[in-house]
Amino acid sequence: MSPTAPPQQANSAPEPVLSVIVPMFNELSSLAPFWQRMSAVLEQLDVPAEVLFVDDGSRDGSAGRVRTMARQDARIRLLELSRNFGKEAAMTAGLDHCRGERVLIIDADLQDPPELLPRMWELADEGYDVVVPRRTARPGETHSKVFFSAAFYWTMRRIHAAVDLTPGTGDFRLMSRRTVEAIRELREKNRFMKGIFEWVGYPRVLLDYEREPRARGATKFNFFKLLHLAADGIAAFSTAPLKLATLAGVGTAFVAFLFGAYIIAKTLLFGDPVPGYPTLVVVVLFFSGVQLLAIGVLGEYIGRIYNEAKGRPLYIVKAAALVDERR
């Protein structure tokens, strides 16, 4: 049922076959019920496992609670980042530090059920490198969030992005070690993990499930954060906005040429006066808007080049003491 674990040295703890990565930011109220359900699933699965909680700069005592849990269960590890770098960076940190032959990414808010893991494991045993649960329902989410999510996936398909994103999927997934190693080679600063997961391209399978409403706490992603994430996704995997800006410029210039030719012909042939100040203001504002739009799109891509050129690390680890204390 499980892949063969690597050989162990005498008197050493078994290397994990499964790594569970749990990125968290201010999830104190969810940690106890999450671990109760996750530990029960791990007992059912019965493979050597580690659960790596990645604290993304929490301010509510989440890291302290994980330390307490780790003293009671040797499978728990804690990786603390120096500040809040964002969920994408936290997941990357977890992938960089996990050791299992298979890796599960799951949030602590229990919207994605840990009980789905045994079925995901069975599908992985069939030869799939990536098992991706797909939500068939999104309880607790506003109509506007559902609408904009659908609009984002529609846009990604229309612009022929470099990745084929499946609506209803998220970061919750089970991956093979070779998939994780491939992802670790992708170090771009503006990270859109859903796209990175798909870009690797190893065989994957979808598993439909009904998502649960968030039991405790509140979502950390407001509308503007989601909009920023969507912009990162589009810019990271497509140059379509640049092409659209070019087409808008060409189209606007062509329309302006036709309009100018029309005014000249009408003036010469019929003696009609050229429209005055109001028309001039409208035309200037229109062209200025098109220019600013094109400059903004270009600026988004230049900004990403600037971030890459700085060469800063994706995250900084504040502490991983619990890992070392048990060795």
- The more confident residue out of 30 and 163 is 30
Name the band, by pLDDT with cuts 50, 70 and 90, for residue 107: very high
- The more confident residue out of 35 and 286 is 35
What is the 3-class SS of 121-158, one letter each residue?
Answer: HHHHHCCCCEEEEEECCCCCCCHHHHHHHHHHHHHHHH
Q: Which amino acid is at 39?
A: S
Encode pLDDT of 176-223 as tens digits: 999 999 999 999 888 888 889 999 989 999 999 987 766 555 555 555
How many Å apart are CA 137 and CA 143, to the nearest integer? Answer: 12
Q: Alpha carbon of 82 to those of 9, 63, 258, 316, 327: distances in Å?
A: 34, 12, 58, 6, 23
Query: In terms of Cα–Cα distance, which of 132, 216, 127, 221 is closest to 172?
Result: 132
CB 236 within 8 A of CB 190: yes
Q: What is the DSSP letter of 237?
A: H
How many Å apart are CA 73 and CA 50, to the nearest integer? Answer: 10
Q: What is the pLDDT of residue 208?
A: 93
Name the band, by pLDDT with cuts 50, 70 and 90, for residue 7: very low
Q: How large is the average pLDDT for residues 285-306?
A: 82
| CA 135 and chain centroid, separation | 16
- The more confident residue out of 153 and 106 is 106
Region of poorest pLDDT, from 27-41, 282-296, 313-327: 313-327
Name the band, by pLDDT with cuts 50, 70 and 90, for residue 316: very high
Q: What is the CATH number of domain 18-220+313-325?
A: 3.90.550.10
**pTM exceeds 0.85, yes or no:** no
Mapped onto helix, strand or coil, the DSSP state of residue 253 is helix
Encode pLDDT of 114-169 as tens digits: 999 999 999 999 999 999 999 887 666 666 667 777 777 777 677 666 677 888 88
CB 173 within 8 A of CB 104: yes
User: Does residue 253 have a pLDDT over 90?
Assistant: no
Encode pLDDT of 273-289 as tens digits: 656 656 676 677 777 77
Side-chain half-sphere CA neighbours of 201 within 13 A: 3
Q: Quick count: other Cβ atoms within 10 Å of Cβ 177?
A: 17
Mapped onto helix, strand or coil, the DSSP state of residue 55 is strand
